[in-house]
Structure 1
Amino acid sequence: MTEATIYAVTDGIATLTLNRPDRLNAFNDQLVVESLAAVAAARADAAVKALILTGAGRGFCAGADLQGLAPSADGVNAAMRDLYNPLIMAIDGFPKPTVAAINGVAAGAGVGLALACDIAVAVRSASFVLTFGPQLGLVPDLGVTWFLPRAIGRARARALALLGDKLPAETAAAWGLVWTCVDDDACMASARSIATRLGEGSAEAFANIRRLLDAAETRGLGDQLDDERETQVQLIGKPAFAKGVANFLAKRTT
């Protein structure tokens, strides 16, 4: 059986490549099982400082592979509960920085996969499309309904989900769906550059930044200020802060 993913670690950067290019890297159970194993391996490997997620060929991820399937409600429920949703949770909760290198179309659940990463880089030829409602009579899943309005706002999220129109990568960057849009031949170089920069920082600090930004969506300013203060107190005694202060003072004296 051909591997549905490729996992490699180079210079402290782990890369998980979805490897079903003939199907635009659409999800099947094998791909998700292998992806879960790769994310777990990267999490456990102390040498890994950041994780890049990308696709082989001309697509990032075309969502669920519907070819030859006759899904039942029970089968969909079990697959989402036991495989697909845990993958999104594993990426979103990954304790080290994550970068999506979106090398082509991201459709359906592929959009959720991209948005689960901390930072997304998209090639200019890429596009984003949500076909759930307009074509399939379903709702967006794999976290799309959670991530999308937080990234681009309620009005735009509703229009994309209800109309199913393609969103070009450059518009996605202008709207804040992705961090930046690059030439097609610069995707992995850009993603690796960002991942390397992130890997040089404090994974603990970055994890707390993500947590605080997520928490701010649903609570008041006073609670957020308290959490910032408590987190700062915890981090200020860590080696990363001492190193950062020393580097800052050294630069000022040179």
Structure 2
Amino acid sequence: MNSIEIKIENKVAYIALNRPEVFNSFNREMALRLQSILDDCESNDDIRAIVLRGNGKAFCAGQDLKEVTSPELNPGFKKILEEHYNPIIMRLRSIKKPIIGAVNGVAAGAGANIALACDIVLAHEKVSFIQAFSLIGLVPDSAGTFFLPRLIGFQKAQALAMLGDKISAEEAEKMGMIYRCVSLDSFEETVSQLAEKLANMPTKALGFIKELFNKSMTNTLEDQLALESKLQIKAASSNDYVEGVAAFIEKRKPNFKGN
């Protein structure tokens, strides 16, 4: 059985973590395979949006603890972080295509933080998010200490990291942790509609927006203004900009090609 499944429909790559028997927890093979699939999605011009989700009842329960407690299989935390999770997070943030985190079940530990590293996070009403690290004597990784305080504020983020509270999708939306909580019945349709909407938008501009928000985490105001100017000039030279303006003037729906 493949640890990760991928299908491509209507310019959207649907990536599904596929170890449902262990709630899609990561082992080395799955972590490396996800990196490879993300690389393929980045280089494939026919893919203009990406959805990351889990198969079964969970999105992702984080690290497979059986792997790290096995004398034969344990790669060690240094390798797990430097070769598994850190490269995954960097890929999610650097790919110049929109990535939806479609959280279909519990997202715990590294699984929660991988979800939060996606560009737009949707979850259904039965989902929960847990910063589970402190509950087994660890600290948040996978950029949890980077993104979480920026999403919900320093005090709230630190409390969740220390206490390991379970947060419902509804609570997560209210505190700004995720974009939207939707009903269980409408979840799949909502994910597909959003993904296909993004796949038909001006892909270059979306990639530039992603780059701007990435850099805004560390840039000064002066640096950010300069980068906005640079990327706006690039966006204005795209074919999609020409099409977008023409469609606006002609009062018709634009036909963006992603270039």
TM-score bucket (shorter structure): over 0.9
Deviation at 1:214, TM superposition (A): 2.6
Deviation at 1:71, TM superposition (A): 6.6
Report Cα offsets for 1:80-118 as digits up to 9, x if no partner.
Answer: 212221111111111211001100100000011101110
Q: Is the 8 A contact 2:94 2:211 kept in 1?
A: no
Residue identity in the other structure for 2:160? L
Q: Which residue of 2 aligns with 1:19?
A: 18
Deviation at 1:230, TM superposition (A): 2.0
- Whether 1:67 aligns to 2:66 is yes
Q: Which residue of 1 aligns with 2:115?
A: 114
Q: Which residue of 2 aligns with 1:31?
A: 30
- Whether 1:78 aligns to 2:71 is no
Identity between Structure 1 and Structure 2 (%): 36
Residue identity in the other structure for 1:189? E
Residue identity in the other structure for 1:227? L
Gap regions ≥5 residues in structure 2: 253-259
Moved more, 98-107 or 147-156: 147-156
Output aligned runs, 1:204-223, within 5 Å: 204-223=204-223
CA separation in 2, counterparts of 1:77 and 1:32?
A: 14
**RMSD (Å) for aligned C-alpha atoms:** 1.7
Q: What TM-score comes out, normalization by structure 1 length?
A: 0.93
Q: What TM-score comes out, normalization by structure 2 length?
A: 0.91
Distance 1:128-1:44 versus aligned 2 partners, 3 A rule: same
Q: Is the 8 A contact 1:130 1:161 kept in 2?
A: yes
CA separation in 1, counterparts of 2:110 and 2:203?
A: 27
Moved more, 188-197 or 104-113: 188-197
Gap regions ≥5 residues in structure 1: none
Moved over 6 A (4+): 71-74
Distance 1:213-1:69 versus aligned 2 partners, 3 A rule: closer
Q: Is the 8 A contact 2:117 2:147 kept in 1?
A: yes
Equivalent pairs, count: 250
CA separation in 2, counterparts of 1:100 and 1:68?
A: 25
